[in-house]
Each structure stands twice: as C-alpha cells, then as structure tokens.
Amino acid sequence: DGGITQSPKYLFRKEGQNVTLSCEQNLNHDAMYWYRQDPGQGLRLIYYSQIVNDFQKGDIAEGYSVSREKKESFPLTVTSAQKNPTAFYLCASSIDTGGNYEQYFGPGTRLTVT
C-alpha cells in the first residue's frame, strides 16, 4: 500500500536532548513537508523539501533541522534549542500534477518533552 509513515506514534524525551522524527513515503512524491500542530494554532510549516538534497525553512524553523538524502525520507530533528518542542508533528508529501497541490499526510508523532 502506498502512503506516508511516521514513527513512533508517541515519543518522550528529556529536556536538552535532541530527538529525530522519522518520515517515509512510498508515493514517489518529490515534495515533502513538516508541520507542527498546537491546540488552537492549526498547522504551521517547519521545513519543506521540493527535491532531494534541497530544503527550505518554513514559518517556524528555529530549533529544528532536516535532511533529504533520499526521495523517500525526510527526517526532522528537534534540537535542544527549540523552546517549546512538545507538540503533534505531521509529515506530508505532494506531487505537482499540473496544478494539483494536494498534500498527503502521515499519521503524526506526538512528542512530549519534560
């Protein structure tokens, strides 16, 4: 089955530790995205990548880093510099189909930092 997988579903870390969230897609999509969702805030874009080995900062990139070494994978590292890391993190992917910009989302990872 084609889709986007994020693991783990729940993640707990101590403050001061870096943590990497996994995102894999087998949809052959070129573009991938990371969002975080906080209560009452909707979805805010952290980073996105339109092609392998290239990525751009979104609206709230501070304290995060990404890599895009393979088309299928777009891991997100939440560093100790991120002031409020506890959130629900969503990965998405999309393909340009002549103006059709639908993004397909993974199931999300809830990160709790204490």
Partner 1 sequence: DQQVKQNSPSLSVQEGRISILNCDYTNSMFDYFLWYKKYPAEGPTFLISISSIKDKNEDGRFTVFLNKSAKHLSLHIVPSQPGDSAVYFCAASATQGGSEKLVFGKGTKLTVNP
Query: Which residues would be at the binding site for partner 1 (CB under 8 A)?
Result: 4, 6, 31, 33, 35, 40-45, 48, 50, 58, 88, 90, 92, 94, 96, 99-108, 110
Rounded to the nearest whole angstrom, what is the least distance from the CB of residue 5 to partner 1 in the complex?
A: 11
Contact 5, 90 (CB under 8 A): no
Torsion, Cα 18 25 92 45, to 10 degrees, reads 40
Nearer to partner 1, 16 or 39 (CB): 39
Nearer to partner 1, 13 or 110 (CB): 110
For residues 14 and 27, what is the distance between their CA atoms, to the nearest angstrom?
34
Nearer to partner 1, 60 or 80 (CB): 60
